[in-house]
């Protein structure tokens, strides 16, 4: 089995990886402003998702709505491990990834509201965000549906002899479906520069990972196609970032696929309307006790890089940005009825640019 990481001591199936990041000092070569920016991004995603939940209950947001609450370190680590020219595919739990990729909170919130100023012009909603300029090629509502598409994009990169990497985020449940295994197999056969990023938040909807998968340590599934793989603590922003950088560098340099599993924990149910009755209170409390934002904030303070007042200032800035995005979305217009059939086919300019 071609893996970089053996089973971690103390890490059992369906439990969050137990690195003691709250007491670990930060690497000496880290830039202070960069680290504070990571903290801001995580807080921004947390506050954005909490506001999204509020707006959903007020019927400002329609359709389904899945949140990244508790997974902020996983999201930011994933995004900061990529280059600006790399491509991103995600599943339907995508708001944080869109923000992390550089799509403005105004454009993301407006998309949630179904407004024409949204990143998908109000046509995608929560599960189908898109921004070709930032190479964010969409969230997908079908479990695992984005995985074969990401492999196709990686095939196009290889065919054109490009240097970009395609990063494909998915949930743990997607690794139980046929498209996942077929995609790993094809990516290995054709030597494609794709990183399969599995967010193991320990539940596929309401089913525990170890009850729905014969292999609880999901990175081990890479051995099926001899794909290099690793596992990382998804609550540690720097660990995820570094693991992602390793995966991306390998895919880019070797022109080979890589499978990275990040063990995380979602704070709420599968979606906004999920009452989360399948998890007992003790389990949720244990997961919340390893809040990635709190843990990283403690590391920053222990290293003398931030005070409580400085972190509070960043949180205030993030809240102001989120509140402004709601006002922007409220004031934006819905797509006009006469535009109903727009964007069904690529126009000549789009087709020409793609070629």
Beta bridge partners of 208: 203
CA distance 263 to 3: 16
pLDDT at 174 over 90: yes
Burial class for 139, CB neighbours closer than 10 Å (0-12, 13-18, 19+): buried
Whether the Cβ atoms of residue 166 and residue 154 lie closer than 8 Å to each other: yes
Q: How confident is the model at residue 241 (pLDDT cuts 50, 70, 90)?
A: very high
What gap in Å lies between CA 125 and CA 63, rounded to an integer?
8
- The string over 19-37, giving b where at least 16 C-beta atoms fall within 10 Å of a residue's C-beta and e elsewhere, is bebbeeebeeeeeeeebbe
The pLDDT value given to residue 12:
34
Tokens of residue 158, six digits: 């290889």
Q: What is the pLDDT of residue 352?
A: 54
Task: Indicate if the pLDDT at residue 6 is higher than 70.
Answer: no
Q: What's the mean pLDDT in 60-80?
A: 95
pLDDT score for 236: 97
Question: Which pLDDT value is given to residue 11?
Answer: 33
Q: How confident is the model at residue 4 (pLDDT cuts 50, 70, 90)?
A: very low
**b/e code 98-130 from CB counts within 10 Å (16+ = b):** bbbbebbbbbbbbbbbbbebbbbbbbbbbbbbb
Q: What is the pLDDT of residues 7-37, one digit of tens each?
A: 333 333 333 333 445 455 677 788 999 999 9
CA 16, CA 26: separation in Å to the nearest integer? 21
User: Which pTM value belongs to this model?
Assistant: 0.89
pLDDT score for 269: 82
* Least confident piece of the model among 139-153, 167-181, 182-196, 206-220: 206-220
Phi/psi for 336 (5° steps) reads -65, 150
195's tokens: 């990183």
**Residues 288, 224 contacting (CB under 8 angstroms):** no
Band (pLDDT 50/70/90 cuts) for residue 274 is: confident
Q: How confident is the model at residue 190 (pLDDT cuts 50, 70, 90)?
A: very high
Average pLDDT over the chain reads 90
Q: Is the dihedral of CA 54, 326, 314, 119 positive or negative?
A: positive
Amino acid 24: pLDDT? 57
With DSSP H G I counted as helix, E B as strand and the rest as coil, what are the percentages for the chain, rounded to 5?
A: 50, 10, 40
CATH code for the part of the protein at 31-330 = 3.40.50.970
Give the model's pLDDT for residue 283: 84
Top pLDDT among 46 and 273 is at: 46
Q: What percent of the chain has pLDDT over 90?
A: 78
Where do runs of H (alpha helix) occur along 101-222?
105-112, 146-159, 178-189, 209-212
Helix (H) or strand (E) holding 91: strand 87-91
169 and 204 Cβ atoms separated by less than 8 Å: no
With the C-alpha atoms ordered 55, 58, 60, 65, is the resulting torsion angle positive or negative? positive
């Amino acid at each position: 089995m071609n893996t970089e990481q053996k089973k971690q001591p103390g890490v059992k199936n369906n439990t969050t990886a137990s690195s003691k990041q709250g007491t670990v000092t930060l690497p000496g070569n880290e830039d202070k402003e960069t680290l504070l920016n990571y903290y801001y991004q995580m807080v921004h995603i947390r506050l954005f998702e909490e506001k999204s939940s509020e707006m959903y209950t007020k019927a400002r947001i329609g359709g389904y709505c899945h949140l990244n609450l508790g997974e902020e370190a996983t999201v930011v680590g994933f995004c900061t491990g990529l280059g600006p020219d790399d491509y991103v595919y995600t599943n339907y739990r995508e708001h944080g990834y869109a923000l992390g990729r550089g799509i403005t909170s105004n454009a993301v919130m407006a998309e949630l509201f179904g407004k024409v100023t949204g990143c998908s012009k109000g046509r995608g909603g929560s599960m189908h965000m898109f921004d070709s300029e930032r190479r964010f090629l969409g969230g997908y509502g079908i479990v695992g549906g984005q995985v074969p598409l990401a492999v196709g994009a990686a095939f196009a990169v290889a065919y054109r002899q490009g240097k970009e990497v395609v990063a494909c985020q998915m949930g743990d449940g997607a690794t139980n479906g046929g498209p996942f295994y077929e995609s790993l197999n094809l990516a290995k056969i054709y030597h494609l520069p794709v990183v399969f990023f599995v967010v193991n938040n320990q539940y596929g909807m309401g089913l525990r990972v170890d009850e729905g998968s014969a292999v609880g340590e999901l990175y081990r599934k890479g051995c099926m196609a001899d794909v290099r793989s690793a596992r990382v603590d998804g609550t540690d922003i720097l660990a995820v970032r570094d693991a992602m950088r390793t995966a991306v560098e390998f895919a880019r340099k070797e022109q080979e696929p890589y499978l990275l599993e990040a063990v995380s924990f979602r704070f709420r149910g599968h979606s906004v309307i999920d009452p989360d009755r399948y998890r007992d209170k003790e389990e949720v409390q244990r997961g919340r006790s390893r809040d990635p934002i709190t843990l990283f904030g403690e590391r920053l303070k222990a290293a003398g890089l931030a005070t409580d007042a400085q972190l509070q200032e960043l949180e205030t800035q993030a809240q102001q940005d989120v509140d402004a995005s709601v006002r922007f979305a409220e004031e934006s217009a819905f797509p006009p009825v006469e535009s109903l059939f727009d964007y069904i086919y690529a126009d000549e300019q789009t087709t020409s640019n793609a070629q």
